[in-house]
Amino acid sequence: MTLHIVKKGDAITMMRISKRCQAVTGSLTLEIDAKAKEMKARGLDVVGFGAGEPDFDTPEHIRNAAKEALDRGMTRYTPASGMLELKKAVCEKLRRDNGLVYQPQQIVVSNGAKHSLFNSFQALLDEGDEVIVPGPYWVSYPELVIMAGGVPVVVQAEEENCFKLTPERIEAAVTDRTRAIVLNSPNNPNGFVYTRQELQAIGDIAIRHDLTIVSDEIYEYLVYDGAEHVSIASLSPELQERTIVINGMSKAYAMTGWRIGYTASPLHVAKAMTNFQSHSTSNPNSIAQWAALAALSGPDDQLKNMVAEFDCRRRRMVELINAIPGLSCKPPKGAFYVMMNISGLIGKKLNGVPVTGSMSFTELLLESKQVAVVPGVGFGADQYVRLSYATNMENIEKGLGRIREFALSLED
């Protein structure tokens, strides 16, 4: 028997990590969130703007549905792609809210929308297939594409255009390897919402170049200033045929920890994803599925209150940011994030340490003022940091007060 004495630097030779896995980096958003939570647990007075999760409790009727499911013994396997009752509720929701007609067999329920996205790219992509990812993008899209052997092609949009991509920009990025385009409206991290006309123009490109649209609609209910969420799949039967709609419980029902997301897609895609899921995770948690059913078919008063509260916080956060010298932001129309432009502070120093980009800005701010934000570099936008207003008004006042002090304390 050989004894393995672990020495520094041995790990790599002892158990080799696949190239596929080496190509993927961890989620920066989850890392920042974990860091802020860990600092709070140590008793530090951290103001966390990192979290991409509602600070509200899961509504009572949803929690009760889970308790009842437990008491009724709903603790066994369900079909791998989710239970029929829940799929029917998803179909009803898609009909009611999005004007989309799907059959239950076209729905695949997974462990969060992130898992739904994972399954989608696994089902769609072959080695080297390109996926257009509008930037600044949510951290996980490029990695999810890479995990499926695909190549993310980031197409950047500018703040002047409210971070929206023009059809010309998208079309210029299409090659003969382009297989799909990711759409995320309302958007994380930019907070924009595409209008019906803008979606139509993107849909036309998808049809012209035979692209699949992966439409992540997880923030659909979180819209402000009269913005309207439209599902691109609802614009025509032709578009529905080439779209995978992604959605989930996390954001609308404050259910981030429950891990339920779903896809609605053409039947053959749903079947392919079901096969994949049946060998990887099997069904998502059965109790959480009953809770999701209650969420989709129950009252939505908490959701309405939550949106009204997010709206107040959004306004206040935008006002406070734009009053700080060197910092600015555009008012977002959806989700619960603000992209704060930090370019006016790049090159300045705190005690001799320069702000070189979003990462050093984030680190200096966290160390000196205990305020957690997400560096834009994780979204492919190093001139920005993302702030989430899924935190209470007191924290917004306190945190922005500290960011103001931080900005004013920087020297040339």
Does 256 interact with ligand PMP (rule: CB under 6 A)?
Answer: yes
Going through 185-238 in order, the beta strands assigned E by DSSP cover: 212-216
Footprint on residues 105-124 left by ligand GLU (CB under 6 A): 114
Q: Which residue is nearest to ligand PMP (CB)?
A: 112
Does 140 interact with ligand GLU (rule: CB under 6 A)?
Answer: yes
* DSSP string over 291-339: HHHHHHHS--HHHHHHHHHHHHHHHHHHHHHHTSTT-B-PPP-BTTEEE
244 close to 212: Cβ distance less than 8 angstroms: yes
**Listed ranges 9-17, 94-102, 135-143, 272-280: which one lies at the site for ligand GLU (CB under 6 A):** 135-143
Does 248 interact with ligand GLU (rule: CB under 6 A)?
Answer: no
Instruction: Classify each residue of 87-104 as buried b or exposed e, where b means 16 or more C-beta atoms within 10 Å of its C-beta.
Output: bbbbbebbeebbebebeb
Output the six-digit token pair for 122: 């696994």
CB 189, min distance to ligand GLU, A: 7
113 close to 246: Cβ distance less than 8 angstroms: yes
Does 250 interact with ligand PMP (rule: CB under 6 A)?
Answer: yes
217 close to 247: Cβ distance less than 8 angstroms: yes
Does 198 interact with ligand PMP (rule: CB under 6 A)?
Answer: no
**Listed ranges 22-30, 56-64, 169-177, 302-310: which one lies at the site for ligand GLU (CB under 6 A):** 22-30
Does 147 interact with ligand GLU (rule: CB under 6 A)?
Answer: no
Residue 203 or 261 having the CB closest to ligand PMP? 261
CB 325, min distance to ligand PMP, A: 30
CB 12, min distance to ligand PMP, A: 31
381 close to 340: Cβ distance less than 8 angstroms: no
Q: How far is 302 from 300, CA to CA, in rounded Å?
A: 6
Which of ligand GLU, ligand PMP, none does residue 30 bind to, with CB < 5 to 8 Å depending on kind? Answer: ligand GLU
Site string (123-142) toward ligand PMP, x via CB under 6 A? ---------------x----
Residue 119 or 188 having the CB closest to ligand PMP? 188
Residue selected from 216, 384, 386, 407 as contacting ligand PMP according to rule CB under 6 A: 216
Residue 36 or 89 having the CB closest to ligand GLU? 36
Does 302 interact with ligand PMP (rule: CB under 6 A)?
Answer: no
Does 263 interact with ligand PMP (rule: CB under 6 A)?
Answer: no
State the CB neighbour count (10 A cutoff) for residue 333.
24
Which of ligand PMP, ligand GLU, none does residue 285 bind to, with CB < 5 to 8 Å depending on kind? Answer: none
Which residue type occupies 412? D
Output the six-digit token pair for 69: 């499911």
Query: How far apart, in Å, are the Cα atoms of 367 and each of 28, 45, 65, 323, 363?
Result: 17, 12, 42, 23, 6
Which residue reads 């959480």 in tokens? Answer: 288
Q: How far is 66 from 294, CA to CA, in rounded Å?
A: 9
Q: How far is 279 from 275, CA to CA, in rounded Å?
A: 7
Which of 367, 366, 357, 347 is CA-nearest to residue 412?
347
Which of 373, 382, 344, 391 is CA-nearest to residue 35?
373
Output the six-digit token pair for 208: 């012209």
Residue 391 gets which letter from DSSP?
Answer: S
Does 184 interact with ligand PMP (rule: CB under 6 A)?
Answer: yes
Burial class of residue 224 (count of CB atoms within 10 Å of its CB; 0-12, 13-18, 19+): buried
CB 136, min distance to ligand PMP, A: 12
**Listed ranges 65-73, 109-117, 314-322, 388-396: which one lies at the site for ligand PMP (CB under 6 A):** 109-117
**Listed ranges 138-146, 205-213, 236-244, 260-268: which one lies at the site for ligand GLU (CB under 6 A):** 138-146
Residue selected from 48, 50, 52, 376 as contacting ligand PMP according to rule CB under 6 A: 52
Residue 78 or 140 having the CB closest to ligand PMP? 140
How many residues can be counted in the chain? Answer: 412
Which of ligand GLU, ligand PMP, none does residue 369 bind to, with CB < 5 to 8 Å depending on kind? Answer: none
199 close to 235: Cβ distance less than 8 angstroms: yes
Residue selected from 52, 136, 152, 376 as contacting ligand GLU according to rule CB under 6 A: 52
Q: Are strands 212-216 and 243-248 parallel, antiparallel or unpaired?
A: parallel
Query: Which stretches of the chain bind ligand GLU, using CB under 6 A?
Result: 27, 29-30, 52-53, 114, 138-140, 188
* Chain contacts with ligand PMP (rule: CB under 6 A): 52, 112-114, 138, 184, 188, 216, 218, 248, 250, 256, 261
